Amino acid sequence: MAAESVAAEAVAAASVAPLRVGVVGTGALGRHHVRILAELPEADLVGIVDLRADVARQLAAEHGTVALPTAAELAGRAEAVVVAVPTVDHHAVAMPLLAAGLHVLVEKPIAPGLGEADALVAAAGDRVLAVGHVEFYNPAVQALMAVGELPGYVEIERMAVFKPRSLDVDVVLDLMIHDLQILQAIDRSAIREVRATGVRVLSERIDIANVRLEFESGCVANLTASRVSAEQTRRLRVFLHRSYYSLDYHAQSIQGYELVGDGGDRAIRPLVLPVEPAEPLKVELRHFLAACRGESVPLVDGVQGRRALATALEIRSAIEARRGEGSP
């Protein structure tokens, strides 16, 4: 995004009435939602909720808002709420908020199961239900999406150092689901085949998984996700008919090459996809607020979040089936 666009966006944001918004869940990610919403001129952070009352009070004091005892009390003050509680609680927390007429952004995955996801989508009605697939708002991802050509092969690696959080879900729902949502935005055709394997290492759930997906379009994708790696790697490689792109999520950069010419005159030349760095979570929240004002739609809504969840659960089933057959 050019400097002129950033300036224009800031002026536009300052010209709208701030939306009353709150946050439920102020853990590792929720506290960043609080930080950003407190900074955005188009947001009025009216309160935060966390089961750890002392943590909520301290965070509220740091960001000029108030800590409230329940999500119900927050619902009485807000127009929109970010739900950043553990995945197992997404349905229980978000459903009453939607029933109260609020717009909701629920962190990924949308829910632990498809039944709960379907209930959330149905309950949203004409209200905004966004799902926090923050990586999709990475400027490099959006630059790649603008290419618009279906790939023949995709390779994705998401390796993370072990952290004792988000252990209520396995690595497929914790990390790989980011890339599943992006992959299914690139290729919207149905998945024809799933082959997967995974192992437990440091937790009671799958910590490393490798998946091969084949789409009806003919595209094949190979994904690896680990939360017990010695170092962090987040990379996506897309192979098109006569070009190739390598995207580094962390660096927010893309390297591209294309084949030009025919016969003996063929050559490979670099492709330039300009990327203006930005904080994906801030971009996501601005999109969410704009959607709540009726100015746009969320890039990842409840239906898209549900689709990513369905694929993740199919992968988990494939892993368990393989383990049941005696594979390691």
Cis before residue 270, ω within 30 degrees of 0? no
pLDDT attached to residue 7: 38
pLDDT attached to residue 47: 98
Angle, alpha carbons 231-180-85 (nearest 5°): 75
Asked if pLDDT for residue 14 goes beyond 70, the answer is: no
pLDDT attached to residue 262: 81
User: 20-59 pLDDT, tens per residue?
Assistant: 999 999 999 999 999 999 999 999 999 999 999 999 999 9
Instruction: Give the confidence band of 328 by pLDDT, cuts at 50, 70, 90.
Output: very low
> Any long-range contacts for 210-216 (C-beta under 8 Å, 24+ apart)?
211/172, 211/176, 211/315, 211/318, 213/183, 213/311, 215/187, 215/189, 215/190, 215/191, 216/189, 216/190, 216/191, 216/192
pLDDT attached to residue 3: 34
Domains and CATH numbers, the chain: 3-133+281-297 (3.40.50.720), 136-277+310-324 (3.30.360.10)
Show the DSSP H helices in 40-176 as ranges.
53-62, 71-75, 90-99, 114-124, 139-145, 171
**CA distances, 86 to each of 167, 170, 199 (Å):** 9, 13, 23
Asked if pLDDT for residue 168 goes beyond 80, the answer is: no
Helix, strand, coil percentages, rounded to 5, for the chain: 40, 25, 35
pLDDT attached to residue 261: 83
Instruction: Give the confidence band of 2 by pLDDT, cuts at 50, 70, 90.
Output: very low
The string of DSSP letters for 83-97 reads: E-S-GGGHHHHHHHH
Length of the chain: 328
d(CA 169, CA 326): 23
User: 284-307 pLDDT, tens per residue?
Assistant: 999 999 999 999 999 999 999 999
User: 173-216 pLDDT, tens per residue?
Assistant: 999 999 999 999 999 999 999 999 999 998 888 999 999 999 99
pLDDT attached to residue 162: 83
The encoded tokens of residue 91 equal: 């349905």
Q: Which of 33-47, 123-137, 182-196, 311-325 has the lowest mean pLDDT?
A: 311-325
Instruction: Give the confidence band of 143 by pLDDT, cuts at 50, 70, 90.
Output: very high
Asked if pLDDT for residue 8 goes beyond 70, the answer is: no
Q: Which of 83-87, 142-146, 201-205, 318-322 has the lowest mean pLDDT?
A: 201-205
Q: Please give the share of the chain, as a percent, with pLDDT higher than 70.
A: 93
